[in-house]
Amino acid sequence: MDIALGLALGLGTGLVGGLMGLGGGTLLVPALVLLVGLDQHLAQGVSLAVVAITSLVGAITHHRQGTVRLQTVAWVAPGAVACGFLGASLATGLDGAVLSKIFGAMLLVMSGLLLAGKPAE
Amino acid sequence: MKGGSAGSEAPEGRRTDQGIGRPREIGCGVLVGALDGLFSGLTGVGGGAVLVPLLVTALKVPQHHAHGTSLAIIVLIAAAGVPVYATQGAVNWALAAQLAMGSMVGVVLGAKLMLRVPAVVLRRGFGVFLLLIAVKMLAG
């Protein structure tokens, strides 16, 4: 892949990631599959490595500006990490097309949640 | 886990306003984490797409804090997931490094930009963003 494209793709996903509180994988996985032509599994692996680094830098920035609730992190993270292992192990046994559909369906439900209710400040 | 520090003026065990503290909220937090982790591991994303909506709806975290808190949780999920993919040879490190160089700059800019965006715009914008990706993935 072209270096300029890689940097631009990274900058774009990072910007949206920091703004939206995402690691950037939601953008990066489709971009790597559709733009770069990686296969779904490799795209997910590369994406997760980038997400780990991006989110670390992003979390530090957010913590400094006071927009991280450490107590919430403490209660949510352990279950997330444990089930993350489970999910990653399950993913290797699933077909790429099925993974894409799970991904799409889950995001559809989440967008409904956000578009329906009103935000708290 | 939140025993008062020696110099603290707050009475021991007093519930702080920050985050979740009651058993029901803690249970909810663990469930949200489990659901998010499963999705994250399955799809190779950090889980923020699921985490932010669940933080603001199920756990009632204010919008701006949800986005920052989400990133802090993602760090841990992604760090745990990478070795799983790496042992299967599903990580191209050179490509990842190249992408990360751009994303590290972007994420700092994005976080600072977020402070200037009203909560309702953040929430609706995020909803539309997820909807677009969902349609793309389901149609593709």
Q: How far apart (Å, rounded) are the C-alpha atoms in residues B24 and A25? A: 31
Give me the domain span that covers residue B70.
23-139
Domain count, chain B: 1
Q: pTM (2 decimals)?
A: 0.83
Does any domain span residue B15? no
Tens digits of pLDDT across chain A (121 residues): 678 888 999 999 999 888 988 888 878 888 888 888 888 888 888 988 999 999 999 999 999 999 999 999 999 999 999 988 888 788 778 887 888 888 889 889 999 999 988 777 6
Q: How far apart (Å, rounded) are the C-alpha atoms in residues B105 and B125? A: 22
Residue in chain A nearest B126 by alpha carbon: A20
Per-residue tokens: A113: 């949640």
Burial of A49 (0-12, 13-18, 19+ CB in 10 A): buried
Does any domain span residue B11? no
Find chain A residues with C-beta within 8 A of B122's C-beta: 20, 119
Helix residue spans in chain A (DSSP H): 3-20, 25-31, 40-64, 70-91, 96-116
Does any domain span residue B83? yes
Residue in chain B nearest A74 by alpha carbon: B73
How far A98 CA lies from chain B's nearest CA (Å)? 10
Residue A2 DSSP label: -
Condensed to tens digits (0 to 9), the pLDDT of residues B44-90 reads 676 888 899 999 999 999 999 999 999 999 999 888 878 888 888 88
Under an 8 A CB cutoff, do A47 and B44 touch? yes
Does any domain span residue B29? yes
Q: Is residue B2 pLDDT above 50, yes or no?
A: no
Tell me which residue has tokens 């963003």.
B129
Find chain A residues with C-beta within 8 A of B52's C-beta: 20-22, 114
Does any domain span residue B2? no
Does any domain span residue B39? yes
